[in-house]
Amino acid sequence: MLKKLFAVSAAAFILASCSTTGSDANGTNPEGASVQDGSSGIQTSGVGYGNDANLTNPNAMVPGASQRYFFDFNQSTVRSSDMPSIKVQAHYLVSHPSASAKLEGNTDIRGSREYNLALGQRRADAVEQALALEGCSKKQLSTISYGSEKPIATGNSESDFAQNRRVDMEYKSH
């Protein structure tokens, strides 16, 4: 049992550091455009789990593992391609009532500080709402916006901006 737990943990650690990113087909999104089908090429970070592990499927997520959800320019709509991951995370939270997670909204550097903080909050709230629609208790979730203050990509390309338009779902330790 201990060997199996170690093997799963090691695989999760190695694979969690892998993610696929990309930019929209035309490099930018016009303000107000909403792409929900995942056509931007950005996938959530996640790894396979259980006996049905499919390491090439980004929608096979580890329950309870931190996740990242990306957004289009100036948008706070959860992409339909992220729903499989959200469903897995919601199921985990429903079946583990003592578990909790923090949803951290982020933006790229474009826009004023105030606007970016509000947009980051709308993104975190959108993921919270998606989890709640899947049966998760809002008491298990907290939201915060960092606006553009916590970038993961520091460049000024559209690809860098796309990586920073996200919500990080971080599980809290008890």
Eight-state DSSP code of residue 70: E
Q: Where are the domains of the chain?
A: 2-24+39-171
Q: What is the pLDDT of residue 174?
A: 61
pLDDT by position in tens, the chain (length 174): 444 434 444 333 333 333 333 333 333 332 332 333 333 333 333 333 333 333 334 444 677 788 999 999 999 999 999 999 999 999 999 999 999 999 999 999 999 999 999 999 999 999 999 999 999 999 999 999 999 999 999 999 999 999 999 999 999 876
Q: Beta 141-147 vs 166-171: how paired, if at all?
A: unpaired
Among the listed residues 161, 170, 169, 160, the one whose alpha carbon sits nearest the alpha carbon of residue 74: 161
Q: Which pTM value belongs to this model?
A: 0.67
Coil, helix or strand at residue 104: strand
81 CB-near residues (< 8 Å, 6+ apart): 36, 37, 38, 43, 44, 59
Q: Contact 21/41 with Cβ under 8 angstroms?
A: yes
Q: What is the C-alpha radius of gyration for the chain, rounded to an integer number of angstroms?
A: 16
Among the listed residues 57, 77, 52, the one whose alpha carbon sits nearest the alpha carbon of residue 130: 77
Q: What is the pLDDT of residue 169?
A: 96
Exposure on the CB side of residue 82, measured as CA atoms within 13 A: 29
Q: In b/e form, how buried is each residue of 102-136, taking b as 16+ CB within 10 angstroms?
A: ebbbbbbeeeeeeebbbbbbbbbbbbbebbeebeb
CA 108 from centre of chain: 15
Instruction: Give the CATH number of domain 2-24+39-171; options: 3.30.1330.60, 3.40.50.720, 3.40.50.300, 3.50.50.60.
Output: 3.30.1330.60
